Amino acid sequence: MNAPEIIRAITWAADTDPALKQEVEDAIRRLAGRNRPVYNSIEVHHRLEAFITKHGSANKAAVALGISKSFLHDMRHAKRPYTDDLLTALGMERVRTKDLFSVL
């Protein structure tokens, strides 16, 4: 998605502070200006699943990440937020909030 598509897809609450709305939209435009697509947590989850598949199992993926299988399970099932180390392993980084991500 490009910046205008992302901005159009946002559903703002009626009482959203206009300054906050502008700040978020400006941040999205800045990221797009860096030619780096922005992803949501669903797309990060797809990358995580591909990472696990690439390693052959969740156990092996957890070892590759240097974390426990249960910690990986919790992130995989949205019981814990994605860690910065996981995002780095997926070739991503957190860019605005816990729900926006960018390819490195």
| pLDDT 10s digits, 11-63 | 889 999 988 998 888 888 777 766 566 677 888 999 999 999 999 999 999 99
Selected residue with higher pLDDT from 69 and 96: 69
Sign of CA dihedral 42, 50, 27, 94: positive
Let me know: does 64 contact 74? Beta carbons within 8 Å: no
Domain positions in the chain: 3-35, 39-103
Task: Give the tens place of pLDDT for each residue, 84-101.
Answer: 899 989 888 777 655 566
Residue 19: exposed, middle, or buried by beta-carbon count in 10 A (0-12, 13-18, 19+)?
A: exposed
Tokens 């696990």 -> residue: 52
The topology (CATH level 3) of 39-103 is 434 Repressor (Amino-terminal Domain) (1.10.260)
Question: Residue 53: what residue type?
Answer: T
CA distances from 13 to 18, 21, 43, 63 (A): 11, 10, 24, 42
3 has a pLDDT exceeding 90: no
